[in-house]
Amino acid sequence: MKNLALRLVIVATTALLPLTGIVYAQESHIGNLTGHAKTGKELYGRFCVGCHGPRGDANGENAPYIDPKPRDFTAGTFKCRSTPTGSLPTDQDLYNAIDRGFNTTAMPSWDPLTPQTRADLVAYIKTFSPRFAKEKPDPPINIPSEPPVDIASIKRGSELFQKLECWKCHGQEGRGDGPSAATLTDSKDQPIHPYDFSSGSRFKCGETNADLYRIFMTGLDGTPMPSFADNVKPNEAWDLVHFLRTLQVGRPSPENNVLKAAGGRSILAPATEQQPPAAAPEKKGSGGN
């Protein structure tokens, strides 16, 4: 009898486990804030529905007129994460994305909204994808302390830029005009443009060196930009960060100062001869911003 009761408890607990996931997905937790999907639903209708659509599937009334397309929340795939590629983002990641907005897209910074409002929106956005009820995000990647900027680091970064063939999409001068650039699409077959470093504008997923480090170690899921976490060691990643900053030629930065003092761009690794345009990459994400 005792065993039967125990089994019933186990069965009931097992049956209820998915529900705990649903409950978790109805909330968001950002620091001391707890966001509630119920409140977030109304806020979503006020602020987000025009682009992301009532079902969160990126089919809002404005979606046809927006480039790049809005994020399809139902796919549960997000560009800007602190978690490894393939993982769900943390609540903080989604909160940061709402807070920061996505530069050069139709997604503004919603920083003027109160933190509670943004937390409620995060909770509601998570209800669109069943992934949030079934999975938990992986732990955020570790970002080691940034080493000092020096010319040796920039040179190594320059060599990595050639070795990893970043130039194929971003172009040798980082203008977003590499031979593959025109062929890139996301997983929804929407054209997508590589970041133009020469513009000096903010990155979509942040603006600090640590943000840039995170971008190529986590990848931008849903886009052709892969994660380099398996190919690049942390110190190499920082070298790449330092070099990429020098591609933002008009932007004052320690990296540009160091490069200028060392004699300028001519001392860096010679550019790989550009190849004819490659076919569109096979890896695709969910697209949108």
Partner 1 sequence: MPALVLVFVLVVLGNIEPAHAIPAFARKYGLPCSACHEAWPKLNNFGQVFKDNGYQLGNDRDAPIYQQPSYWPIAFRITPNWHREHDSALPNDQSPTGVSGVSTQGFDLSGMDILAGGTLHKNITFLLVPSADNQGSFHFEAAWVRFDNLLKSRWLNVKFGKFELDNVISEKRILTLSQNGGLYQAYHYLPFVDPTQTGSLVLPAGAPGEIGVRSTAFGLGDNQLGLEVSGHSRNSYTRYSAALLSSTDGDVGLPTSRGYDTYLTFSQAFNAGSLGLQRGGAFAYFGQSPTRFLTQSGNIVPGTGFGNRNFYRVGVYGLIYFKKLDFMPMFTHAGEDARLTLGFPSDGILPTGIHNPTWNGTMVEAHYTATPQFIVVGRYENIRISQQLFTASPTDLGNLNSYTIGYRYYPFMTSRAGFAIHNEYSRVRSVRTSSLATNETTDSVFIGMDFIF
Closest approach, Cβ 60 to partner 1, in A, equals 8
Supply 130's token pair.
Answer: 């069943």
Choose between 7 and 46: whose C-beta lies nearer to partner 1: 46
Choose between 49 and 269: whose C-beta lies nearer to partner 1: 49
Choose between 66 and 229: whose C-beta lies nearer to partner 1: 66
Choose between 252 and 276: whose C-beta lies nearer to partner 1: 252
CA atoms within 13 A on the CB side of 136: 9
Choose between 106 and 143: whose C-beta lies nearer to partner 1: 106
Closest approach, Cβ 53 to partner 1, in A, equals 12
Closest approach, Cβ 226 to partner 1, in A, equals 25
Give residues in contact with partner 1 (CB under 8 A).
42, 45-47, 49-51, 61-62, 65-66, 101-116, 199, 201-202
Closest approach, Cβ 62 to partner 1, in A, equals 4
Choose between 54 and 139: whose C-beta lies nearer to partner 1: 54
- Residue 27 parent element (H or E): strand 27-30
SS3 at position 191: strand
Closest approach, Cβ 114 to partner 1, in A, equals 5
Distance between CA atoms of 259 and 55, rounded to whole angstroms?
49
Choose between 200 and 234: whose C-beta lies nearer to partner 1: 200
Return the bridge partners of 203, or none. 206
Give ∠ CA 80-81-82 in degrees, rounded to 5: 140
Closest approach, Cβ 72 to partner 1, in A, equals 16
- Alpha carbon distances (Å) from 84 to 39, 41, 90, 160, 254: 30, 28, 11, 21, 29
In terms of Cβ atoms closer than 10 Å to its own Cβ (0-12, 13-18, 19+), residue 169 is buried
Query: CA end-to-end span of the chain, whole Å?
Result: 56
Choose between 185 and 201: whose C-beta lies nearer to partner 1: 201
Closest approach, Cβ 126 to partner 1, in A, equals 19
Distance between CA atoms of 156 and 194, rounded to whole angstroms?
22
Closest approach, Cβ 45 to partner 1, in A, equals 7
